[in-house]
Structure 1
């Protein structure tokens, strides 16, 4: 069996998906991706070169091609010679931003991709609405998270802080969509209020220097530690040592990062988006806060720190949910079993 992955292989979500398929198939996956470039123009050039490489390749044939994001790599997958094509939507919709010319052409591409691929991954039900609106056949949609390795993400007892000073953790890449500026401003507010708390920001990205400068400007070097990019295998230990988790993007699909936090007993404080509402009941097993509101974020952190034992049942329910619904071993078996079913059906049609 030959399997090809089209997507950004440095992303934790992509690595999880590939590792699961490799484990179940016993096959080493080949990968192709567009080189990273901070310049939009340069990235466009890279995408065009990548397209021509795919479209006019030497005719390599694959059994399965897996592609991440319907509006880019999913489109490229249509030009790969493969028996079955699988595309995973990355956000609540891949047609983002939804307004203007960008939204129009991305929905066009998305509609084309969804009509021609064999399987569409929705890592959660909240993602399926955009798929159906863009013409996806519901019978092609598989709604199941990839899952997380529960052997790595062990659970700690709730409301017992692991540290003399409580620690919050941020694990999203340092890009504008994740609004790290708002998080830094929230910790400035907490410092001004005299709330003793530390924030670990784990990850790398184009905004790293800008964020380090802002930490200095806000005079919160004693509160915020930018730890840079770390190996994904070291992340569980960081989460286990932390007390609460923060993520405040303005758009979100089904976040594996949220599941990782829930599994370790980190209390989630996340933006009030449909995708997060599917898992978080605000004030019970986490807090939902408005987008671009450092003050409300600071209020939520302070409320948790003042009475953490109030949320113990919610924290325990988070772990139970992950164990029952987001188990990497079980979910990847089901996912690859579906790949094999589609492949068998395609092979039968080829024989006939």
Structure 2
């Protein structure tokens, strides 16, 4: 099988998909608007001009003819776009018969609700797709509202590698209370909310240590906010890490916190659960299947700093009791739906099913 992904080459999700299907013995190509290098993957870069992280990259659609030209040269069996708006719509215009779209979250949950033109574009893209992957029930409902044929939609979270994300060798520091966030520094992840909660607690918890791992356009502003709040001595901006390093940090953490404003399904949360970390996350529909409030974590609202601080305080004061209650719940949830290879097996089988249909282009 020859698979061609169409996605952001700098995204960890893209890299994981490419590397995984290469490891199964398939020939893997990637068409992308970003310059990148992934070992063993055939990379094809299309100049997309200036791309804004916050969205509004309509100009990318005009590159569809370049993508179509590359597709005819590559002649893949499967053409799979990761992200439904920019890549998904442009890929639909390229016209490959075995076209698959994965919606990742904000493309459906935020962008589709911001403009009737975006909804029309998504409806067009999904009509062209033979299969559509979404991360959660909420995302599935959003595709229904757009007007998608629901027989083509499958709920399938990515999941993580249990060989990396597990509780083996987990040993928490007795000298400090470690909080870790692995969300990027963009507006949707609401990092200032966490920083304001830390401001409330940083003198109350003298051994507090907060790891902020990630990257993004707001990094300097968040560093400045940390300094303005007087918490720069307990908050540490660590940058982007590979999966092995993420797992190591999580195993050293008492608490994982995500106060994201929107999520389709959070891989970062899956990683934390795999490493058996007690979690505080926002009360979003995507988080409800993973965090049972008061059992393996706490749910908080996106606009209540005091409540977030209170929940962090409770974890600090009662960590051993809360963690012993959370561990069996974490293990069960992770085994049921958090394992990457199990979920990717579904994708591989669907690819094979699509291949039964002849002809590459419309």
**TM-score clears 0.5:** yes
Post-superposition offset of 1:49: 5.4
Matched with 1:107 is 119
Question: Residues 87-141 of structure 1: CA distance to partner in whole angstroms, max 9, x if unpaired?
Answer: 0111166252455xx4312211111112120010122333211112222222211
Work out which structure has the larger RCO, using CA pairs closer than 8 Å and 6 or more positions apart in sequence: 1
Aligned partner (choices 55, 75, 86) of residue 100 of structure 2:
86
Matched with 1:7 is 7
Aligned partner (choices 324, 335, 350) of residue 323 of structure 1:
335
Compared with structure 1, are the counterparts of its residues 156 and 268 closer, same or farther at alpha carbon in structure 2 (3 Å cutoff)?
farther
Secondary structure in 1 aligned to 2:98?
strand
Question: Residues 37-71 of structure 1: CA distance to partner in whole angstroms, max 9, x if unpaired?
Answer: 47689974862553453356684332211112222
Give the structure with the larger helix fraction.
Answer: 1
Aligned partner (choices 142, 148, 161) of residue 154 of structure 2:
142
Counterparts of 1:120 and 1:128, CA distance in 2 = 10
Counterparts of 1:259 and 1:40, CA distance in 2 = 24
Counterparts of 2:58 and 2:106, CA distance in 1 = 27
Aligned partner (choices 173, 183, 193) of residue 172 of structure 1:
183
1:17 equivalent to 2:17? Answer yes
Check whether the contact 2:189–2:259 (CA below 8 A) recurs between aligned residues.
yes
Aligned partner (choices 211, 214, 221) of residue 210 of structure 1:
221
Check whether the contact 2:64–2:91 (CA below 8 A) recurs between aligned residues.
no
Compared with structure 1, are the counterparts of its residues 335 and 25 closer, same or farther at alpha carbon in structure 2 (3 Å cutoff)?
farther
Aligned pairs, how many?
345
Counterparts of 2:92 and 2:204, CA distance in 1 = 55
Unaligned runs of 5+ in 1: none
Compared with structure 1, are the counterparts of its residues 122 and 174 closer, same or farther at alpha carbon in structure 2 (3 Å cutoff)?
same
Post-superposition offset of 1:17: 2.5
Aligned partner (choices 264, 273, 279) of residue 268 of structure 1:
279
Aligned partner (choices 307, 310, 324) of residue 321 of structure 2:
310
Matched with 1:32 is 32
Post-superposition offset of 1:85: 0.6
Matches within 5 A, 1:68-83: 68-83=82-97
Counterparts of 1:40 and 1:130, CA distance in 2 = 22
Matches within 5 A, 1:118-267: 118-155=130-167, 161-194=172-205, 196-267=207-278
Counterparts of 1:43 and 1:133, CA distance in 2 = 21
Matched with 1:67 is 81
Post-superposition offset of 1:36: 8.1
Post-superposition offset of 1:305: 1.1
What is the alpha-carbon root mean square deviation over aligned residues? 2.6
Counterparts of 1:106 and 1:95, CA distance in 2 = 12
